Amino acid sequence: MSERLWPEDGELVVCTVVDVKDFAAFVTLDEYEGRQGLIPISEIARGWIKYIRDFIREGQKVVCKVLHVDTSRGHIDLSLKDVNDHQRREKIQEWKNEQKAHKWIGFAAEATGINPAEIIDPLRAEYSLFYPLFEELVIQGDDVLRRFNLPDAVIAALMTVAAENVKVQKVTISGIIDMMSDKPDGVNIIRRALRSAETKLPGVDVDITYLGAPRYQVKVTATDYKVAEKAIEKVASNAIGVVERAGGTGKLIRKQK
C-alpha cells in the first residue's frame, strides 16, 4: 500500500476490476486502499470496441495509467490502452515484490514483538518502496539499517528474512590487466598493485588470476552491468596507478563473458 492517499497523474497503478458496464469499467486501486477509479470505454483499448467484455472482465488485475485525479469529487480517471506490455509486466512485478516486502516486515515485527509501524515509519524517510531495501541488505549487509536506529533484534530479524527470501541476480564481466615494471623491485611493485586491486567494494566480488607475466585476469561479479563496469574500471585503475607511479606501465584489456 502506498503511503500517499491519492495517485498522481501519469502514475501506473495496479487495479482490480469490480464492475464492467457497456460504457466503462470500474476498478479499485490496490495500492491506494479505498480508492476507486473509472476506465471509460475509449481508454480500454485502441481502435473500435464492439463488446467491452472482450477486453476486460470483473475480477481481473490490470495495470492502468492515471489520467486525472479530482480529490474534491473523489474521481480517478484511468487508461488501460496507454500501458504497454513491458510497463504492465514491470508494474505487476513491482507490486508483487512490495507485497512480499511488507509481509517480511510483518514477520520481523512478529519475531521481535513490536508493531510493524515501528519498523515502517523510520524506513519511510528514505524508502518509498521496501523490496529494494531487502536487496540492499543481501548485498551490503546490516549497515544499511544502522542509520535508522532500529533495535538490534529488529535488524537481526530483517537480515534473516532477507537472507532467506531474496535472491539477487548477478552478472560477471572480465578483463585482462597488463602490467610491467623494469625496476629491480618490479616483483614487489606488481604485488602491491595486485593488493591495491583487491579493494573491497560494496556488493562486488573481485577475483584476480595470474595468467603469466605480464597478464592478470580480473573477474568482477556485481548486481548489474553498470555496477560491474564501474567496479572493473576502479580495480584496474587502482592496480595500474601503483605500477605507473613506480615508473612502470599498465593497461586494461576488456573482454566479457
pLDDT digits (tens, 9 = 90+) for 42-83: 999 998 898 999 999 999 999 999 999 999 999 999 999 999
* Listed range (33-37, 124-128, 221-225) with the worst mean pLDDT: 221-225
Give the span between the Cα atoms of 79 and 42, in whole angstroms.
9
Helices 131-140 and 85-112, packing angle to 10 deg:
70
pLDDT at 256: 47
Classify residue 8: in a domain, yes or no.
Answer: no
Res. 5 pLDDT band, cuts 50 70 90: confident
**Same domain? 147 vs 199:** no
Instruction: Please list, in sequence order, all residues whose beta carbon lies within 8 angstroms of the beta carbon of residue 90, skipping any fewer than 6 positions away.
Output: none
**153 and 112 part of one domain:** yes
220 or 257: which leads in pLDDT: 220
Residue 229 pLDDT > 50, yes or no?
Answer: yes
**Model confidence at 257: pLDDT above 70:** no
Q: Is residue 197 part of a domain?
A: yes
Question: What pLDDT shows up at residue 1?
Answer: 57
The string of pLDDT tens digits covering residues 127-173 is 989 999 998 898 788 889 998 989 999 999 999 999 999 887 778 88
Domain, as residue range, for 65: 13-82
CB of 9 closer than 8 Å to CB of 66: yes
Model confidence pLDDT, tens digit, residues 172-198? 888 999 998 888 888 899 888 888 887
Residues 65, 93, single domain; the answer is: no
Instruction: Judge if 46 and 59 occupy the same domain.
Output: yes
Let me know whether 249 and 183 are in one domain.
yes
In a domain, residue 130? The reply is yes
Residue 114, classified by CB atoms within 10 Å of its CB into exposed (0-12), middle (13-18) or buried (19+), is: middle
175 and 160 in a common domain: no
The C-alpha cell of 171 is what? 552478472
Q: Residue 4 pLDDT more than 80? A: no
Is 195 within a domain?
yes
Residue 3 confidence (pLDDT) above 70 = no
In this structure, is residue 2 part of a structural domain? no
Residue 122 lies in a domain: yes
Final residue before a domain boundary, out of 144, 165, 186: 165
Instruction: Name the helix (H) or strand (E) containing 73.
Output: none
Q: Is residue 138 part of a domain?
A: yes
Residue 64 is part of a domain; what is its CATH number? 2.40.50.140
Task: Tell me the pLDDT of the chain averaged across its residues.
Answer: 90
* 121 has pLDDT over 70: yes
pLDDT value for 224: 77
- Predicted pLDDT at 24: 95
Q: Are residues 178 and 235 in the same domain?
A: yes
Residues 249 and 175 grouped into a single domain: yes
Chain mean position to CA 139: 11
Q: So what's the pLDDT on residue 255?
A: 61
Give yes or no: residues 48 and 66 share one domain.
Answer: yes
Instruction: In whole angstroms, give the CA distance from residue 170 to residue 41.
Output: 43
Domain boundary residue among 38, 58, 82?
82
* Inside any domain, residue 116: yes
- Do 149 and 177 lie in a common domain? no
Partner residues linked to 179 by β-bridges: 250
> Domain holding 236: CATH number?
3.30.70.1130
Clarify whether residues 91 and 77 are in a common domain.
no
Q: How many domains does the chain have?
A: 3
- Per residue in 236-250, pLDDT (tens digit) is 999 999 989 989 999
Identify whether residues 65 and 18 lie together within a single domain: yes
pTM: predicted TM-score of the whole model, two decimal places: 0.65
The pLDDT assigned to 77 comes to 97
Residue at which a domain ends, from 82, 107, 134: 82
